[in-house]
């Protein structure tokens, strides 16, 4: 039932993303001038919440644009109505809807759907991860030096010894390819299906990674913060790998 609702909400959102992709639609700024929200994020969010509410009027909701809709329920839906909004606003079809379901503090279900590539990633706690219904697995590369990585950068710059530019420079100076797709949820799913061997980002929000981190774990990968603690969507740092390059990438990120 939860999964059926999750898939229905994902599909409803995907249709909206496709319908409005060619524009025109309103775009406005949030925390910084380039932290964008479009009219379509809001339409997608409304459709997702309406679908959830048909079956679960009392579930807790945490969604990027409306924030928290608090209830006493132990089931929480964590929603990014468009992950990759900057891409969407620029007509770049690397964007998706991402929805995770948390129960009693544990992520139990997640779905990420990029309607432009017709790729639906789904994971269920303990039952593996799939791409368009076919089981997926992380890559088997063992050397970070031969890996293909992906990262993202914040809209609001934070200085610091290991800021995103410093880490990026450290890795690319070793000649390691690092891509920047612009959607953390897709980055995670592409680690899960073995296209990337690792992903790191300094500052994510719960909705960016709630579904994707379960998809990576269920595909056999490892997701932690930069200190190696199991990832929680309620803190900012994320390091996701195939497991085999995890400690080597963690050392690179931390400058060790
Ligand atoms: C953003 C994307 C991007 C990441 C940013 C996120 P949004 O989410 O996931 O890849 O680098 O940190 O904010 O704003 O498009 O939902």
Residue pLDDT, tens place only, 124-154: 999 999 999 999 999 999 999 999 999 999 9
Give the per-residue pLDDT at 5. Answer: 98
B/e letters for 119-138, b = 16+ CB within 10 Å, e = fewer, are: bbbbbbeeeebbbeeeebeb
Report how far ligand 1's centroid is from the alpha carbon of 209 (Å).
10
Claim to verify: residue 84 and residue 195 sit in the same structural domain: no
Domain that holds residue 57: 2-135
Give the per-residue pLDDT at 125. Answer: 98
Claim to verify: residue 81 and residue 152 sit in the same structural domain: no
Claim to verify: residue 120 and residue 7 sit in the same structural domain: yes
pLDDT confidence band for 102 (50 / 70 / 90)? very high
Give the per-residue pLDDT at 180. Answer: 98
CATH code: domain of residue 54 = 3.30.540.10
Claim to verify: residue 15 and residue 130 sit in the same structural domain: yes
Claim to verify: residue 115 and residue 26 sit in the same structural domain: yes
Claim to verify: residue 203 and residue 83 sit in the same structural domain: no
pTM of the model: 0.98
Give the per-residue pLDDT at 161. Answer: 87
Claim to verify: residue 85 and residue 169 sit in the same structural domain: no
Check if 102 has its Cβ closer than 6 Å to any atom of ligand 1.
no
The domain boundary, picked from 105, 135, 165, lies at 135
Give the per-residue pLDDT at 158. Answer: 81
Claim to verify: residue 191 and residue 238 sit in the same structural domain: yes
Claim to verify: residue 229 and residue 105 sit in the same structural domain: no
Q: What percentage of the chain carries pLDDT values higher than 70?
A: 100
Report how far ligand 1's centroid is from the alpha carbon of 203 (Å).
9
Q: State whether the Cα torsion 236-193-177-94 is positive or negative.
A: negative
Check if 98 has its Cβ closer than 6 Å to any atom of ligand 1.
no
Instruction: Read off the pLDDT of each residue in 44-67 and give the average, rounded to a whole number.
Output: 98
Residue closest by Cα to atom 2 of ligand 1: 183
Peptide bond connecting 24 to the previous residue in cis, omega within 30 degrees of 0: yes
Claim to verify: residue 149 and residue 124 sit in the same structural domain: no
Ligand 1, pocket-test mutation among 67, 183, 233, most atoms within 8 A of CB = 183
DSSP-derived secondary structure letter, 200: E
Claim to verify: residue 196 and residue 122 sit in the same structural domain: no
* Number of folded domains that form the chain: 2
pLDDT of residue 40 exceeding 90, the answer is yes
Claim to verify: residue 195 and residue 158 sit in the same structural domain: yes
């Amino acid at each position: 039932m939860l999964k059926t609702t999750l898939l229905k909400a994902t599909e409803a959102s995907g249709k909206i993303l496709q319908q409005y992709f060619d524009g025109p639609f309103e775009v406005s700024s949030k925390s910084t001038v380039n932290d964008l929200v479009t009219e379509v994020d809001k339409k997608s969010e409304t459709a997702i919440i309406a679908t959830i509410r048909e079956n679960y009027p009392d579930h807790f909701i945490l969604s990027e644009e409306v924030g928290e809709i608090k209830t006493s329920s132990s089931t929480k839906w964590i929603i990014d109505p468009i992950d990759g909004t900057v891409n969407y606003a620029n007509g770049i079809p690397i964007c998706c809807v991402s929805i995770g379901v948390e129960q009693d503090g544990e992520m139990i279900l997640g779905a990420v759907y990029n309607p432009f590539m017709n790729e639906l990633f789904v994971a269920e706690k303990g039952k593996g991860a799939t791409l368009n219904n076919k089981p997926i697995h992380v890559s088997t590369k063992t050397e970070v030096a031969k890996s293909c990585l992906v990262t993202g950068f914040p809209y609001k710059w934070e200085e610091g010894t290991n800021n995103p530019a410093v880490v990026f420079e450290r890795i690319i100076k070793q000649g390691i390819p690092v891509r920047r797709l612009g959607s953390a949820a897709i980055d995670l799913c592409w680690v899960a299906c073995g296209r990337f061997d690792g992903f790191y980002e300094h500052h994510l929000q719960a909705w960016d990674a709630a579904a994707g981190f379960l998809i990576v774990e269920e595909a056999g990968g490892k997701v932690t913060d930069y200190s190696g603690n199991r990832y929680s969507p309620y803190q900012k740092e994320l390091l996701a790998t195939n497991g085999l390059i995890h400690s080597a990438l963690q050392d690179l990120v931390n400058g060790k």
